[in-house]
Structure 1
Amino acid sequence: MRLTALALLLLPLSSVQAATPLTMEQIMADPDWIGPAVESPYWSLDGKRVLYSLKREGSPLRDVHAVDVATGTSSKLDDAALASLDGGEPVYEPGSRNRVLFVRNGDVFLRDRASGALTQLTRTDAVESSPRFRADGRAALFQSGDDWMSVDLGTRLVSTLAVLKTEKDPDAAPEPDALRDMQLRLIATLAKERADRDALKAQDAARRGVDPSRAPAPIYLGEKLRIVSSALSPDARWLLVATAPQGDEATDGRGGKMPRYVTESGYEEVEDVRTRVGRNAPQPHTLWRVDLVTRAITQFKTDPLPGIAVDPLAELRRKAGKDALEGNRGTRVEGLRFSADGTRAAVMLRSIDMKDRWIATVTAQATALAPLHRLSNSAWSSWDFNEFDWLPDNRTLWYLSEETGFSHLYTVVPGSKPTKLTKGRWEVSGATLSADGTRFLFLCNRTWPGDYEVCAKPLDGGAIGELTALDGVEGFEQSPDGRQLLVRYSSSYLPQQIALVPAAGGEARVLTDTRNAAFRAIDWLQPRIVQVPSSHVKSPIWSKFYRPQTLEPGRKYPIVLFVHGAGYLQNTHAKYPNYFREQMFHNLLVQQGYLVLDMDYRASAGYGRDWRTAIYRQMGHPELEDLVDGVNWLVTEQQGDADNVGVYGGSYGGFMTFMALFRAPEVFKAGAALRPVTDWTQYNHDYTAAILNTPDIDPEAYARSSPIEYADAFRGHMLIAHGMIDDNVFYQDSVRLAQRLIELKKENWELASYPLERHAFVHADAWLDEYRRVYKLFERTLKPAAQR
């Protein structure tokens, strides 16, 4: 019988317990001892096999494996067999789906599903991408670098469609110059040479225009631009291009310099790293249409976008002594989608300040953007839930939007009102159209926020149906005939595996279990999914709870709170966690008599817009309220010891460990801050500016949110651990806080440094050293001597 995570809610607390004694050396060893996760699974285009990769034990190398769908037999393929394989992310011929394009090793291939014939269309040193069939089905279109190419599927002739250059057009007329004019008037030889050059250019252009055997001349966009992205219409008639000013960023911010002390050369070395938030503002994009027949270039201005000229940060700028922005806010192009017939395209743009997201349409003849949808948020619009595309009718667009507070699916015909296809306090993600075009398939978490299944919604109405019952679905891919789903799934102690499920829904047929016997043999402690009551919001705080099998009457248990990282991440779910080592560590802590709570505090993913944006301009404050609620629940409901509470986590979890120790020292006695943020002015722009704006206009938000500002209140016990070549959260963060603690004359803290580790540790000995320190900290500070 399959025990769902929801069912665990209903079990008595004594029903699940890990019995196998664990050691730190075992759980922090190289994860190869667990067994490899299934990576990059996909269908062969005949539907008879599923291909996937597995990491070799003790090696970074991967091997390709194939599962026979009929028998379930899996085998490792030798290198010679790889030459006949299909590639992932296939592009099917519209309508019949008989012919399929895919990219393998940077080259474009064509598979005929009826005959099985495989044709290699390119073999170059360039990296080809974005293959698709031309609207008439007679050619394959693809991108090579910034250029667009075509392969005639009858003659196999490869043609250049567009060569884009960010250079000055050498044939453009020079700028007016009196000295040049005088030279040409006075020096006949110069005038003759110029006339000859112009004649040759004119002859070449004329011949190119009437000779279809010649490649088109390059299209020059100007030397002050760089190409961000481009998309070619399926009829190969026009091109949309997004550009930014030359140079990725403005030049007013200084890049970081990160020293490396342990190097192959034996000398200290310096690595260039990112700039800090607000120092180099992201450059706005410009959208262009290039007509490949007339070679006319049209710029699409953002004027038609509703609200584009309104500065949502005007009041903050005023308080900071700055003027409100004038004119249109800068935007970035985040997606380009053509209808299958090539008559129109949809463009997704986002304001650089992250407050607005627009979808607009353009056509081959349009002179302006036609706004279709605006998603606005006074905090910030999500990094996720931004999928959109056209339906096969070439006139209806579908998209995801959080406008109701949760990501849901909509369709809209330009000029009409949107139709909402899904609703409720749950999220739609990973949406795609079914192979037969009759319904949407997507991931949903309808039962509880951490239970992800594949759902289906018919286009013509009808109820939403859950097609899987695996609890921890990671993703899926339809079979070539659309009759089956290849589902990636996992569970608390099961790294990603694959199973087959009928496209209509039904029982899953498991194809893999790649765990090693030693890992499978351990009776792991299953995390309990609990809903901790919140004292600040109506919604509960979904959490994972780990505890001994039986609580001794009258005994109080030391408490450890684990705080997940990434800021916007969900960890209370039925899937295999990113923090699989920490989960094993929690097993060890429970065996040593601790209660462990892992909370999806406000700002975590999976719970809708308002849960995410609760931290706007106040990072670390709502989250800390949630952590304190978790402690109180453990004390009142689970015999937790209010006098012995510890907290730990990495990255954002390290940041929150500081906030707990510094801002609630009466609650948290000890903490381990791993690779922590100490001052948000030192972090990157894209993440931080969305939540706190920028330091120049919102210094109050940064002061309110940065632990270093609260260090004077520290009075507990603390470990700081940081990789010295961390290029995400700089090691400097921990060093600066260390100096602050020294100057404040604080005691009972230590800084552990790891010379060869970046943000995510990769060496088992570093993991072991770090977590032995965490464990000893808790043992030393949270337990009476008699219990150690």
Structure 2
Amino acid sequence: MRRMFVAGLAALVALPAASQSPITPSLDLETVMAPPDWIGAAVTSPYWSVDGRSLYYSLKRDGSKVRDLYRVDPASGQSVKLDASAQAQADGPAVFDRAHRYAAFVRHGDVFLVELAQGRRVQVTRTAEAESAPGFSSDSRALQFRQNNQWYSYDIAAGVTAPAAVLKLADDPQAKQPDALGDEQLKLFKTLRQLKADKDALRENDDALAAADLGRAPKPIWLGDKVELIDTELSPDGRWMLAVTQPKGHAEGKAPQVTHFVTDSGYAEQQETRVYVGRKDPPPQSLLLLDLLHRKSYPLAIDSLPGIKEDPLKELRGKAIAALEKAGKHDEAKALKAPELRAVRIISSADDGGGGGIVWSDDGQNVAVQLRAIDNKDRWIASVDLDKHTLLNQHRLHDNAWINWNFNDFGWLKDNRTLWYLSEETGFSQLYSKPLGGKAKALTAGKFEVSHPRLTDDGQWFYLRSNQVAPYSYDVYRVPANGGELSRLTQYQGLEDFALSPNDQQLALLHSSPYVLPQMAVQDVAGGAPRELTNTMKPGFTARSWIAPQIVGVSSSHGAGTIWAKYYGPADKAAAAGRPAVIFVHGAGYLQNVTLSWSNYYREQMFHNLLVQQGYVVLDMDYRASEGYGRDWRTAIYRQMGHPELDDLLDGKAWLVKQQGVDAKRVGIYGGSYGGFMTEMALLRAPGEFAAGSALRPVSDWRLYNHEYTSNILNDPQLDPEAYAISSPIEYADKLQDPLLIQHGLIDDNVLAEDSIRLYQRFIELHKKNFWMSLYPMERHSFVHADSWYDEYRRIDELFNTWLKPQP
């Protein structure tokens, strides 16, 4: 099926969710950019009740940021909004012990325990601090949970909560040994010797009592005063803990500031933001294995990880050092020297892509850690030999460009000895299993992506989200945990997420379509027709006849294959001939906008309807670097941001001219964030190709963006200045000849407004014409005020009407 779409230059996929008829009544910009409550509310955060008889979900309240909690009966579809008293009795997303005798969940930051047979509920904590990560001990006798990096264990039978360990970021005062002068004092003075003996005896007696009496709180484990604690993970048997540390007091570098001009106080106020890329690398992290029984800590060395002593940037590093030495900058050259061991970070559950950095087996006998090189070229999954206190590499994923921030999920099969993980090693995210010390086995394979792996409680199946049918079509699939056929279970094509019921027999499905916000349904895991549970769309929106975007395949003239896009045009194809066109460029770079789902760019999609109504056609492309198309598509921009993508956009323009008959001299372009960056690159690197462009919140100089995103793609600017130079629009400012409108929120703390202001100053100094800038004093990167949205798109509309349409 996929080959059928790729075969033609412009194969079309008509969407059943909306018609190609004109919009009725006519759209206007006020409606399109109005607060989105008139559209409806997306169903968010669905989860099952502890007994599996109900589902919970959240909805944003009209005219408010408050989200209300709802409960729905999956059998009848009856839904009810819970008031404050009902919410106090509601479940939270639950975890279960291995025998399914107990469940636990967190609500309003506190931990609750449920005895499933009797339905008895116990509130385990009531604190000002938020607890998280509930889980049961391997013998089901205790409920474990954390408060920040401090772990607690609740003895279910005794009803007592105690810290699982007490970690102190200081040196053990008892471990301090006397120096030569102190030794001499003990030799000279009998009283000092007696005092020391008494102190030692009391400590030894206290240690003996603590070891024999489990009712006592544990004694501290001293980690030293040179480190900061970043993460901890307790083993289910309560015997071990892994701790992630980094050097204390690591300087992050100088942070730029944004100025808030419109404030409550009436005075301009300053806000510190993130550090520029390359100004200071993230601090290296280390692992400690803590033996909680004997109160000992063991550093886990990383020197056995394959490739840890190699320098993947050796060639670039050599060129950079040579250039600095030639310029007489010897200290800077010395600072670029490669270390003996590459620094690593432990991928945490808070990182993009999820998956967590440390995962214990259910029985607590094994633990796996996911580490990532700070240079972004390697990801390792290692197990820990608890007896020998060493790391054992189980899987290394290397990428000459950069390791993806998605697809880092991993865990253990139910045998507690076999790992499972996602990897892009074939070019597409696939699922693998690997026994400790054994060979890896691919559980899925193909030129498509799998994500969201969920292992059933009985360990027999993995449920996944995948776009196996087509890059833009997502559904739930399942595959046997020991390998076998990948089976498609749903037919939505716009599947957002799913949740397995506590008995693994039903799927709660979150799905959407281009003009339908995410809604919830339920379906048996064996298949069959789903039962729709929600409809939160508003009639004012659904009554309109929206233009269904057609998914088209544009052939790359640069050998990249098919560039998937959404095309908006009149119902009568012949009517497109001679029209002006607009190309929309999505943001984020690594984001997929050509799908059969609800779009993050729903306002832009309505604006595209308005443009068609006004006589345009619109093309929205998933250029190279976009999500959903595999590793090569993602990393094509390595060290050359704005180059492969521009090739794709120009191919899109050629497709519009050839297939839709638009006027090549009347094609405009616009986009926000990465799309704004690409708008600037299009006008500055391909002058004359686009009649006008609007760049919203654009990156104009990648040297000013953050470290985490930019260093992945362009390395550090000190190592790879050439990559930053060829990738930054400000370097091409002298090429401006086509009308450019720049729009930026003044308090944007993601892409700072200084990016646009610096480029604007370059245009001034170069005596350029037809460039403008509009600034929004109360907007950050993502606009939130309807007035700003309206003003922003009014200017874009006027720009295109002025420069793309024939003037009287």
For the 8 Å contact 1:168–1:221, the answer to whether it is kept is yes
**1:651 counterpart residue number:** 673
The DSSP-based 3-state class of the residue aligned with 1:171 is: helix
Aligned-partner Cα distance in 2 for 1:556–1:8: 20
For the 8 Å contact 1:692–1:698, the answer to whether it is kept is yes
**2:541 counterpart residue number:** 519
Cα distance change, pair 564–10 in 1 and its aligned pair in 2 (3 A): closer
Aligned-partner Cα distance in 1 for 2:706–2:728: 14
Aligned-partner Cα distance in 1 for 2:122–2:434: 38
2:160 to 144, 152, 157: 157
Q: How does 1:616-631 map onto structure 2 within 5 Å?
A: 616-631=638-653
Q: What are the Cα deviations for residues 676-708 of structure 1, in whole angstroms up to 9, with x where unaligned?
A: 100000000010000000110100000010000
Q: How does 1:24-39 map onto structure 2 within 5 Å?
A: 24-39=29-44
The DSSP-based 3-state class of the residue aligned with 1:643 is: coil
Aligned-partner Cα distance in 2 for 1:580–1:685: 29
**2:78 counterpart residue number:** 73
Q: Does 1:62 align with 2:64?
A: no
2:147 to 141, 144, 168: 144
2:346 to 311, 328, 333: 333
Structure 1 position 159, deviation (Å): 1.9
2:629 to 607, 621, 636: 607
Cα distance change, pair 554–155 in 1 and its aligned pair in 2 (3 A): closer
Cα distance change, pair 554–103 in 1 and its aligned pair in 2 (3 A): closer
Residue type matched to 2:78 in 1?
A: T
Aligned-partner Cα distance in 2 for 1:679–1:565: 16
Q: Does 1:444 align with 2:466?
A: yes
Cα distance change, pair 763–294 in 1 and its aligned pair in 2 (3 A): same
1:246 to 242, 245, 248: 248
Aligned-partner Cα distance in 2 for 1:522–1:167: 65
**1:495 counterpart residue number:** 517
Cα distance change, pair 112–205 in 1 and its aligned pair in 2 (3 A): closer
Root mean square deviation of aligned Cα: 2.0
**1:205 counterpart residue number:** 207
Aligned-partner Cα distance in 2 for 1:557–1:585: 17
**1:695 counterpart residue number:** 717
**2:236 counterpart residue number:** 234
Give structure 1 stretches of 5+ with no counterpart.
none
Residue type matched to 1:303 in 2?
A: D
Cα distance change, pair 198–271 in 1 and its aligned pair in 2 (3 A): farther
Structure 1 position 234, deviation (Å): 1.0
Aligned-partner Cα distance in 1 for 2:148–2:199: 31
Aligned-partner Cα distance in 1 for 2:114–2:512: 32
For the 8 Å contact 1:674–1:722, the answer to whether it is kept is yes
**1:709 counterpart residue number:** 731
The DSSP-based 3-state class of the residue aligned with 1:778 is: helix
The DSSP-based 3-state class of the residue aligned with 1:557 is: coil
Q: Does 1:16 align with 2:16?
A: no
**1:783 counterpart residue number:** 805
**2:506 counterpart residue number:** 484
**1:375 counterpart residue number:** 397
Structure 1 position 177, deviation (Å): 4.4
Structure 1 position 434, deviation (Å): 2.0
Structure 1 position 364, deviation (Å): 2.3
Q: What are the Cα deviations for residues 380-406 of structure 1, in whole angstroms up to 9, with x where unaligned?
A: 011000111000111111111100000
2:598 to 576, 583, 588: 576
Residue type matched to 1:261 in 2?
A: F
Q: TM-score, normalised by structure 2?
A: 0.93
Structure 1 position 743, deviation (Å): 0.5
2:135 to 120, 124, 132: 132
Residue type matched to 1:602 in 2?
A: R
Q: Does 1:301 align with 2:301?
A: yes
**1:320 counterpart residue number:** 320
Deviates more, 1:65-74 or 1:425-434: 65-74
For the 8 Å contact 1:311–1:324, the answer to whether it is kept is no
1:48 to 41, 50, 53: 53
Structure 1 position 197, deviation (Å): 4.9
The DSSP-based 3-state class of the residue aligned with 1:641 is: coil
Aligned-partner Cα distance in 1 for 2:36–2:14: 32
Cα distance change, pair 639–615 in 1 and its aligned pair in 2 (3 A): same
Deviates more, 1:146-155 or 1:551-560: 551-560
Seq. identity, %? 52
Deviates more, 1:349-358 or 1:44-53: 44-53
**1:93 counterpart residue number:** 97
**1:669 counterpart residue number:** 691
Aligned-partner Cα distance in 1 for 2:80–2:579: 49
Give structure 2 stretches of 5+ with no counterpart.
322-332, 348-356
The DSSP-based 3-state class of the residue aligned with 1:242 is: strand
Aligned-partner Cα distance in 1 for 2:722–2:458: 54
**1:767 counterpart residue number:** 789
Deviates more, 1:744-753 or 1:212-221: 212-221
Q: Does 1:453 align with 2:475?
A: yes
**2:330 counterpart residue number:** none
Q: What are the Cα deviations for residues 37-56 of structure 1, in whole angstroms up to 9, with x where unaligned?
A: 11211111222211111111
Structure 1 position 192, deviation (Å): 6.7
The DSSP-based 3-state class of the residue aligned with 1:447 is: strand
Structure with greater contact order relative to length (CA < 8 Å, sep ≥ 6) = 2
Q: How does 1:492-571 map onto structure 2 within 5 Å?
A: 492-552=514-574, 555-571=577-593
1:752 to 774, 785, 798: 774
**2:226 counterpart residue number:** 224
Q: What are the Cα deviations for residues 323-362 of structure 1, in whole angstroms up to 9, with x where unaligned?
A: 6513110011111111111111111111001100011111
For the 8 Å contact 2:590–2:625, the answer to whether it is kept is yes
Aligned-partner Cα distance in 2 for 1:98–1:775: 61
**2:87 counterpart residue number:** 82
Deviates more, 1:278-287 or 1:208-217: 208-217
- Poorly superposed stretches of 4+, deviation over 4 Å: 5-8, 176-200, 551-555
Structure 1 position 97, deviation (Å): 2.5
Deviates more, 1:254-263 or 1:587-596: 254-263
2:619 to 577, 592, 597: 597
Residue type matched to 2:236 in 1?
A: P
Structure 1 position 172, deviation (Å): 2.5
Residue type matched to 1:126 in 2?
A: E
For the 8 Å contact 2:14–2:548, the answer to whether it is kept is no
Structure 1 position 555, deviation (Å): 4.2
Aligned-partner Cα distance in 1 for 2:120–2:282: 47
Residue type matched to 2:307 in 1?
A: G
Aligned-partner Cα distance in 2 for 1:193–1:473: 71
Q: What are the Cα deviations for residues 283-320 of structure 1, in whole angstroms up to 9, with x where unaligned?
A: 11101100011111111111111011000001101100
Residue type matched to 2:80 in 1?
A: S
For the 8 Å contact 2:112–2:125, the answer to whether it is kept is yes
Q: Does 1:282 align with 2:282?
A: yes
For the 8 Å contact 2:380–2:393, the answer to whether it is kept is yes
Cα distance change, pair 554–293 in 1 and its aligned pair in 2 (3 A): closer
Cα distance change, pair 732–190 in 1 and its aligned pair in 2 (3 A): farther
For the 8 Å contact 1:721–1:753, the answer to whether it is kept is yes
Q: How does 1:730-745 map onto structure 2 within 5 Å?
A: 730-745=752-767
Q: Does 1:633 align with 2:655?
A: yes
The DSSP-based 3-state class of the residue aligned with 1:369 is: strand
Deviates more, 1:70-79 or 1:485-494: 70-79
Deviates more, 1:128-137 or 1:525-534: 128-137
Structure 1 position 188, deviation (Å): 7.8
Cα distance change, pair 196–747 in 1 and its aligned pair in 2 (3 A): farther
**1:259 counterpart residue number:** 259
For the 8 Å contact 2:60–2:68, the answer to whether it is kept is yes
For the 8 Å contact 1:624–1:660, the answer to whether it is kept is yes
For the 8 Å contact 2:414–2:458, the answer to whether it is kept is no
Aligned-partner Cα distance in 1 for 2:533–2:745: 39
